[in-house]
Structure 1
Amino acid sequence: MKSDICILAPVHYWDDIRVFKKEAVTLAKSGYNVTVYTRAEKNMIENNVTIKKIPNYNNRLKRFILQPKLLYLILKERAKVIHLHNPDTLLIGFILKLLGKKVVYDTHEDFTKRILIRKWIPVPLRKSLARFVKYLELIASKLFDATFVTQRDILKRMGNKAQLIENAPITEGNIVDEAYHISNDIEERPDTFRSIYIGAISENRGLIEVIKSIKKLNCSGVKSRLWLAGKCYKDSFMKELEGIDGWEYVDYLGTLKQEEAFAYVIKSDVGFITIYDVGDHSKTSPNKIFEYMRFSIPFIASNFNNWKERLDSLNAGLFVDPTSTEEILSALKWLYNNKDQRIIMGQNGKEYVLRQYNWEKESEKLLKVYRELI
């Protein structure tokens, strides 16, 4: 069957939250025939979305070599619209436009800043490559039929066709229902003050300071533990974390499905997102904060001006210097000692997400564009 929409996301795994669980599933629910070319173990159909496995895309050199094959696969679909994710696909997008196809470009991050901290790129090349990607994205935003960005700062440098579609949390449906169901089987320890971090595990995530603060909290007489969930791409950093004085208070859960991660959030007292100010982190839309808020737990987050301006007035969490173990410890102690306020913060956050900021509302922008294109 000919696809209405063909999504190409070669860098992402098939169950990526934005690519699949938000955009592809939303489009399929709205009646579009959606095919996604992405990383997967096999071809399959999930939530009425056809998922097709792409060739091995792990090696960076292979990413360039495989471009013609990916283009061929997309053209075979004969889709009405091709939806491309991230700069890796820009060359394919330009060729598709030359062939008269309708093309949508979707960028998840500010790659002009992320490139500057990519260790695999030689330092002398980083600035030039960042400028090149910035130029390509600007051209794409003018030539392509639509461009989606997740950050307001990126929107400012794109053309008039660009639209802000943020990574707002999903607030209803199977994922949320399953999370509550799974949470019933998670053992509760009423005497333990439970923190959680979900997300990528790397040097820039402030986890060393978090673990040290949990250790100090226990030393002060508060029984406390940290659930740590996510994938670590560097074995050396994982070993570094495991060697920290305080790791004995960490329960590492590994990589979880989204609904499983949310189940642990439901059982937590506070959620962490104390990442360092590198790359474009301070300008991002802090998706993890909103996911914590959705499930009624307060957050402890980096004190980025952008985040504070947007969220401080909600009284849904606390902001700290992510490099300061003492500030993190102080925030933990305050939340532990002020249970009533902690509960109010959780309620404030949930109310904001359910009423004002959620994927169900944000997705209307996505559907509006597709109604105009198809």
Structure 2
Amino acid sequence: MKKKVCFLVAEHPFLDARIFKKEAKTLLNNGYEVTMIVPRINGNLFDIDGTPFTNEFPSKTFIHEGVNIITYDRVYLEDKIKYLYYNIQSYCPDRFSDSLTQLGIALEADIYHAHEYFSLYSGFGIKRALRSKGKKAKLIYDSHELVPDPLEHNSTKSRNYMEKMLHLMLKEVDFIITVSDSIKSWYLTLNPSVPVEVIYNSPPLSNDILLNDVYKNQFLAVHEGFIGGTRGNWDKLLKITEICSKTMDFKFKVIGGKRITDQNQLTLPDHLSKRIEIIGWMDYSSISNEIKNADVGWIDLNVTRSLNNKYAMPNKFFSYLNNGVPVLVNKCTDMEQFINTHQCGHVIDKLEASAEDYAEAINCLFLNRNKLKEMSINARRIMKENYSWDHMQKRLCSVYENLKAEE
């Protein structure tokens, strides 16, 4: 009989690349029955940029590409931290009355796979409720990031409750999956008895690509993903382009950008309109064709106010490498170690790199095409040999096999 897996999702779009495209489809292809319980906002499911699906997926339950989808109206549990903490302390499963928990209990799956801090809260309640009914279920916490982030400027009282909750919730977790070695180490200090596996946010290996000619005169940088908040900086990108365009035939391509819900969208000055191309959001499978001819992939993270950013290994990092595109990034712990180990990019030796810093690095790479080509070859090779989703999915399946073996 197939094992029933239930993905618990509190915040992410249901077509999220990691959750749906990679993990859910991998488990489905390996013989598991997969159900996802996912949130609606204002009655609609939503795309990766926040765009609501107004005419698609109207049914509360449906099957999409073989995966069972159950939907519910999103609630914002972060507004009730103290109440949630008391629920966890109470040891009374009846206190977990939120929709995600109740739908999860009704499903009676064998393995629950929570993808955020607040879906872990629901997984905690589900596991206790099922145990009270005599059913043993396993719980995975897929921690895409650290929550609470010790460096974020949220209220001290709220963070203290969240930290206490996390310690308690980890006692019910059977396996932790996370996205970087530093985050893995962080969890092992919290609870060394829970096994942790790192599964990078890497894509399936793209088709064989033709690496860039070392003699070409144009230099193309690419940014993939969101711009805003602590990730990416539009003003900095504009300034990099302005500086570099004075000394070379420089262009910047932007895939993604602002969320559709952001009031202030990206504004492109007239004098840079031929230097910057905004592609916008696109289907996950099409990204490779847009970045494969780039010379560098740019990542700029604010690490002074976010431990998550300091430890980050984001989707775009592996997306660049997968297409033989070296990474240009400021000083982020895990990406710096990876780049230095595999010689697949360039790290600015500053926590806060300026536009001038990036422009200087780009100019050096432009003048040293042979070194850039070597980085490109290394990037493609390591993805092919070790880090593409073809390798990561083996780690995921191993986690599930280990949980099955414990029954």
1:138 alignment partner AA: H
Aligned to 1:164: 197
Q: CA deviation at 1:237?
A: 4.9
What is the CA–CA distance in structure 2 between the aligned matches of 1:59 and 1:69, rounded to whole Å?
A: 11
Evaluate the alpha carbon distance shift between residue 44 and residue 229 of structure 1 in structure 2; reply closer, same or farther with a 3 A threshold. farther
* Number of equivalenced pairs: 353
Aligned to 2:278: 252
Aligned to 1:336: 366
1:213 alignment partner AA: I
2:203 alignment partner AA: I
> Residue deviations 1:192-211, cap 9 Å, x none?
42211001111422342232
Evaluate the alpha carbon distance shift between residue 219 and residue 152 of structure 1 in structure 2; reply closer, same or farther with a 3 A threshold. same
For residues 29-68 of structure 1, the aligned pairs below 5 Å read: 29-39=29-39, 40=45, 41=53, 42=57, 43-56=61-74, 68=98
Aligned to 2:385: 355
What is the CA–CA distance in structure 1 between the aligned matches of 2:165 and 2:204, rounded to whole Å?
A: 35
1:323 alignment partner AA: A
Aligned to 1:317: 345
Aligned to 2:109: 79
- Using the TM superposition, name which of 36-45 and 135-144 deviates more: 36-45
Aligned to 2:48: none
Q: CA deviation at 1:115?
A: 7.7
What is the CA–CA distance in structure 2 between the aligned matches of 1:286 and 1:5, rounded to whole Å?
A: 26
Q: CA deviation at 1:355?
A: 1.4
**Structure 2 stretches lacking a partner, 5+ long:** 40-44, 46-52, 85-94, 132-136, 211-215
Contact 1:213–1:326, Cα closer than 8 Å, also in 2: yes
> Residue deviations 1:224-246, cap 9 Å, x none?
2111122413645535x546974
Contact 1:166–1:285, Cα closer than 8 Å, also in 2: no
Q: CA deviation at 1:163?
A: 0.8
Higher helix share: 1
Q: CA deviation at 1:59?
A: 9.6
What is the CA–CA distance in structure 1 between the aligned matches of 2:387 and 2:65, rounded to whole Å?
A: 24
Evaluate the alpha carbon distance shift between residue 155 and residue 244 of structure 1 in structure 2; reply closer, same or farther with a 3 A threshold. farther
1:162 alignment partner AA: P
Contact 2:184–2:196, Cα closer than 8 Å, also in 1: no
1:217 alignment partner AA: C
Aligned to 1:304: 332
What is the CA–CA distance in structure 1 between the aligned matches of 2:99 and 2:302, rounded to whole Å?
A: 38
- Using the TM superposition, name which of 330-339 and 362-371 deviates more: 362-371
1:95 alignment partner AA: G
Q: CA deviation at 1:56?
A: 4.3
What is the CA–CA distance in structure 2 between the aligned matches of 1:325 and 1:245, rounded to whole Å?
A: 18
TM-score, normalization by structure 1: 0.83
For residues 94-173 of structure 1, the aligned pairs below 5 Å read: 94-99=124-129, 100=131, 101-113=137-149, 116-117=152-153, 123=154, 125=155, 127-150=156-179, 151-159=183-191, 160-172=193-205
What is the CA–CA distance in structure 2 between the aligned matches of 1:137 and 1:351, rounded to whole Å?
A: 38
Aligned to 2:239: 212
TM-score, normalization by structure 2: 0.77
Contact 1:194–1:226, Cα closer than 8 Å, also in 2: yes
Evaluate the alpha carbon distance shift between residue 62 and residue 130 of structure 1 in structure 2; reply closer, same or farther with a 3 A threshold. closer
1:26 alignment partner AA: T
2:238 alignment partner AA: I
